[in-house]
Amino acid sequence: MTTHMSYADAGVDVSEGARAVDAIKEACAATNRPGVMEGLGGFGCLFDVSHLKSMEQPVLVSGTDGVGTKLALAQRLGRHETVGIDLVAMCADDVVVTGAEPLFFLDYVAVGKLAAESMAQIVGGIAEGCRQAGCALIGGEMAEHPGVMAKDDYDLAGFCVGAVDKPAMLGPDRVCEGDVIVGLPSSGIHSNGYSLVRAALTDKLSDKELCAPQESLGGQSIADALLAPTKIYAGNIVHALAAGVSLHAMAHITGGGITENLNRAMPDHLDAQVALASDGTCPWPVPPIIDLVSDAAGLTPEEALLTFNMGVGMALICAPEDVDQVASAFTAENCCPFVMGEVVPGTGKVTYISK
């Protein structure tokens, strides 16, 4: 005999999905910018790029990424409001390093069991990230995976598209010997290295211990420090470039730390030489949570530079005569820039010197 079974009986609640869409419409609409052609609900997302006709040679720049295992900590503590900001940061700040202005963003959320309230928190964070980056959240997908993911599990992926005029593109081909490397400070660990964070620190602590104020963190809890949203630089950079700030290249410091990201902005015949303190540590401000995790994992300074951002979320490369202009512009953007090194002859690597 055939037993009647609905889609809901199989674990997918279509009505809850509709409620979730209704819950996020306002947040998505708040990110609208010129070019957005319609709201949520279509099969495809529409964005008018006719303004690109003013460019000599418009180039589309795209980026896609996720948040990684930082989500495991957010899920453990039931704190979903800011991981969407992390998602946008990972994508939009990859796009902006070419000098491109992020235009629009799409997200994909996979969940074990859809709950409209939690989804509104997650997507609300994505919308806030889009507002900070200056791009529109024009669409996405929410997918329930019963039997594949645990009820409270979810994963995020994002996709960002920007545009830049090819003659104005930034990159390694513009970098010259003698250029100066300027760092923009991170807001914490951002969204990389959390598998080590969990193994070395959080998996060994109770929820109560994670949420207790820590003197070494200035009274902040470990949970608050680890779940601090990733700083988004795209909006600040777009404003600075539009104001005439001259940059040669940029590097978004993500997984692999300074060592394996700053080299991506170097041509094959030059190195990025970063100046460290005499003991091999970073002379610029490093968020205390990074030091706490590095100590818990027993990392050497070299290992820390290869794992975490070490207080540098974005590195800017400019001519020495433009350093004051760059510093002034990003100070005005509340980014607190600092000089961290220079470009020297080499083979396209990051090298370190102690002073």
pLDDT in tens, 86-126: 999 999 999 999 999 999 999 999 999 888 788 889 999 99
Q: Which residues does residue 105 pair with via DSSP β-bridges, in sequence order?
A: 137, 160
1 domain residue, yes or no: no
Residue 31's domain is classified under what CATH number?
3.30.1330.10
For the question of whether the overall pTM of this predicted structure is more than 0.95, the answer is: no
- In this structure, the answer to whether residues 158 and 181 fall within a common structural domain is no
DSSP state of 84: H
Separation between Cα atoms, residue 353 and residue 167, nearest integer Å = 34
Express each pLDDT in 271-325 by its tens digit.
999 999 998 899 999 999 999 999 999 999 999 999 999 999 999 999 999 999 9
Report the pLDDT value the prediction gives residue 26, as an integer from 0 to 100. 80
pLDDT at 282: 94
Structural domain span for residue 212: 172-354
116 and 164 share one domain: yes
Pair (192, 162) in one structural domain: no
> Cα separation of 249 and 255, whole Å?
19
Mean pLDDT of 41-47: 83
What's the chain's average pLDDT?
A: 93
Confidence at residue 246, expressed as pLDDT on a 0 to 100 scale: 98
pLDDT tens figures, 165-197: 999 999 999 999 999 999 999 999 999 999 999
pLDDT tens, position by position, 61-94: 999 999 999 999 999 999 999 999 999 999 999 9
Whether 196 maps to a domain, the answer reads yes
Looking at 125, 140, 168, the residue that finishes a domain is 168
Q: Is 156 in the same domain as 228?
A: no
User: DSSP string of 232-293?
Assistant: P-HHHHHHHHHTT---SEEEE--TTTTTTTGGGGS-TTEEEEEEE-TTSS-SS---HHHHHH
Q: At what angle do helices 83-95 and 234-242 cross, to 10 degrees?
A: 40
Mean pLDDT of 19-43: 80
Do 154 and 122 sit in the same domain of this protein? Answer: yes
CB count in 10 Å sphere of residue 219: 9
Q: How far apart are CA 251 and CA 348, in angstroms?
A: 13
Instruction: Give the domain CATH number at 210.
Output: 3.90.650.10
Q: Is residue 56 part of a domain?
A: yes
Confidence category of residue 152, pLDDT binned at 50, 70, 90: confident
Q: What pLDDT, on a 0 to 100 scale, did the predictor assign at position 3?
A: 73
Sign, Cα dihedral of 332, 232, 197, 183: negative
Say how far apart CA 318 and CA 76 lie, in whole Å.
42
* 253/98 Cα distance (integer angstroms): 14
Name the phi and psi angles at 234, rounded to 5. Answer: -55, -50
pLDDT (tens digit per residue) in 226-269 = 999 999 999 999 999 999 999 999 999 999 999 999 999 999 99
> What does the pLDDT look like over 14-23, one tens digit per residue?
666 667 677 6
* Model pLDDT, residue 72: 95
Length of the chain: 355
Q: Which two tokens stand for residue 41?
A: 């609900």
State which of 147, 168, 189 marks the end of a domain. 168
Residues 256 and 161 in one domain: no
Q: Give yes or no: residues 350 and 203 share one domain.
A: yes
Number of domains in the chain: 2
Same domain assignment for residues 213 and 145: no
Please name which of 47, 313, 251, 29 lies closest in space to residue 163, comparing C-alpha atoms. 47
Write b or e for each residue in 243-258: b if 16 or more Cβ atoms lie within 10 A of its Cβ, otherwise e.
eebebbbbbbbbbbbb
Among the candidates 134, 168, 202, a domain finishes at 168
In a shared domain, residues 86 and 152: yes
DSSP 348: S
| 56 and 156 share one domain | yes
- Contact (Cβ atoms closer than 8 angstroms) between residue 156 and residue 119: no
Amino acid at 149: M
Pairing of strands 270-276, 350-354: parallel
What H or E segment, with its residue span, contains residue 354? strand 350-354
Cα angle: 348, vertex 351, 355; to 5 degrees: 150
